[in-house]
Amino acid sequence: MSKAFTRETDVPDEDDELPAGPSIPAGAKNYMTPQGYARLRGELMELIDVERPKVVDIVHWAASNGDRSENGDYLYGKKRLREIDRRIRFLTRRLEIAEVVDPSVHQGSDQVFFGATVRYADDEGEERTITILGIDEADNAQGQVSWISPVARALLKSREGDEVQLMTPAGLRRLEVLSVSYPAPAPPAP
């Protein structure tokens, strides 16, 4: 069949089925800090209010130029629209199931909960500091780990001075919790 007789939407994009972010374990909640929720919501609003309308305008302009089969602006614009729409769907689903948890309510506690910054030493004496955050907001390069990561799961609910066990590919490791801290509460809105 000639390509001229097929609609573009009939041909699935090869990466339509790829997840747009890390997956949440079945039955688990999507815990997020207020800052993480605000960042995802900001990205969603930027895509809906700014990015998508710009690309729609480009696609509309490119479509008015005639032959769409060899029109790079049109083809790229349609692909970019699919990417934006996929990200919008992903963010919308994540925000709908988000459970916003303010870690500052635990300030002063020596027990590890979601949002804690934990300094620990492993059985070789190496010290590390991590912050336990939501799946969509953790950044390993900044010492942030997801609450579902093995090290976070091992540390959760422990207290300063506790020793916990962490199973790694290299074998069992012991971690000693040296300190636990939480962010200060945000000042009340005026």
pLDDT single digits (tens) 5-46? 444 444 444 444 445 567 777 767 789 999 999 999 999 999
Residues of the chain with CATH 3.10.50.30: 103-181
Position 20 scores a pLDDT of: 54
Tell me how crowded residue 127 is: count the other CB atoms within 10 A of its CB.
10
What dotted CATH number matches 103-181?
Answer: 3.10.50.30
Within the chain, residue ranges assigned H as helices are: 34-46, 52-63, 72-96, 150-155
What dotted CATH number matches 28-99?
Answer: 1.10.287.180
pTM for this structure? 0.77
Q: At what angle do helices 34-46 and 72-96 cross, to 10 degrees?
A: 150
Q: How far apart are CA 52 and CA 84, in angstroms?
A: 7
In tens, the pLDDT along 147-160 reads 999 999 999 999 99
Residues of the chain with CATH 1.10.287.180: 28-99
Position 71 scores a pLDDT of: 76
